[in-house]
Amino acid sequence: MKRFKWEPIALMALVIGLGVWIVWSSRAKFFDSVKTDPGARLAEFRVGNTRGVVEVASAAGGTPGGERFRVHLRDGFMSEWIDAAMFQQLYGALAYEGLVQTSDNPLFKLFNITNWGSLVWVTLGLAGQGAFFGRMFIQWVASERRKESVVPPAFWWLSLVGGVLLFAYFIWRQDIVGVLGQSTGLVIYARNLRLIAKQKERELGGVAAAGPPAAAAGVGR
């Protein structure tokens, strides 16, 4: 029985863990560096291409519209405290609603979202990433079995499914880098599937043109 190679899987886990740790530690470091007033909470925020956080201080008794806000950006900018009306005037009503509706739900914090509807889009993106992992896993297993690099048709099908899901996810995220990356890939995945289908058609056509095997043809002589 051939020994199962666990080294690639261990390396995958190591790289994934390293990436998650870098992202999480960088985020935690920035949050820890922001000095907040007692009773205020922090929520992630983005202005143009600059990311940061907003310090939100609720009004006494939790009165809607009585909150105060202070913006901290990663480039070092820190605003003065402003009221809800001024915040909406500067950043819009949608930004205000997203901040006041921010939940302590750990899933919302993990994926940087503010509601359950956004979680549906995140699930879509995770499904796309899962399809991309599945295609590489299948290609790896097929190559290990044949002891040479091979690309089975399932690789292209999973690539197409994952590409469509991630394309939709990146559009929702308004991530131009992700959209550009997936848009070109979709055409390549679909084209490879078309080439595989045409090759099968040619093979079937060749078999039909060749007629029955010689042994079978000689039975009626």
**Among positive and negative, which fits the CA dihedral 161, 163, 164, 169?**
positive
124 lies in the same domain as 168:
yes
Residue 208: band (very low, low, confident or very high) from pLDDT cuts 50, 70, 90: low
Predicted pLDDT at 55: 87
Predicted pLDDT at 126: 94
Q: Of the ranges 13-22, 170-179, 186-195, 209-218, which one carries the lowest mean pLDDT score?
A: 209-218
Task: Give CA separation, 64 vs 43, 108, 144, 166, 170, in Å.
Answer: 17, 22, 61, 37, 33
Task: Give CA separation, 117 vs 71, 121, 124, in Å.
Answer: 26, 7, 11
Tell me whether residue 192 is in a domain: yes
152 lies in the same domain as 191:
yes
Beta bridge mates, 45: 52
Tell me whether residue 150 is in a domain: yes
Which of 76, 102, 128 is where one domain is finished? 102
pLDDT at 172 over 80: yes
Is the CB of residue 101 less than 8 Å from the CB of residue 58? no
What is 202-215 written as a DSSP string? Answer: HHHHHHHHH-S-HH
pTM of the model: 0.62
Return the amino acid letter for 106.
P
**Domain limits for position 92:** 37-102
Which of 75, 102, 129 is where one domain is finished? 102
The arithmetic mean of pLDDT across residues 208-213, rounded, is: 64
Which of 78, 102, 126 is where one domain is finished? 102
Helices (H) and strands (E) in the chain, counts: 8, 4
98 lies in the same domain as 143:
no
162 lies in the same domain as 131:
yes
Bridging pattern class, strands 41-47 and 82-83:
unpaired
168 lies in the same domain as 193:
yes
158 lies in the same domain as 191:
yes
136 lies in the same domain as 200:
yes
Tell me whether residue 25 is in a domain: no
204, burial (CB in 10 Å: exposed 0-12, middle 13-18, buried 19+): exposed
Write out the H or E segment, with its range, that includes residue 76.
none
Tell me whether residue 217 is in a domain: no
Tell me whether residue 8 is in a domain: no
pLDDT at 94 over 80: no
122 lies in the same domain as 186:
yes
Residue 127 has a CB neighbour count (10 Å cut-off) of 15
Bridging pattern class, strands 68-73 and 50-57:
antiparallel
153 lies in the same domain as 196:
yes
Tell me whether residue 212 is in a domain: no
* Residue whose structure tokens are 């990436």: 19
Count of structural domains, the chain: 2
Tell me whether residue 140 is in a domain: yes
Rounded-to-integer distance, Cα 164 and Cα 151, Å: 20
Predicted pLDDT at 221: 46
Is the CB of residue 119 less than 8 Å from the CB of residue 157? no
128 lies in the same domain as 199:
yes
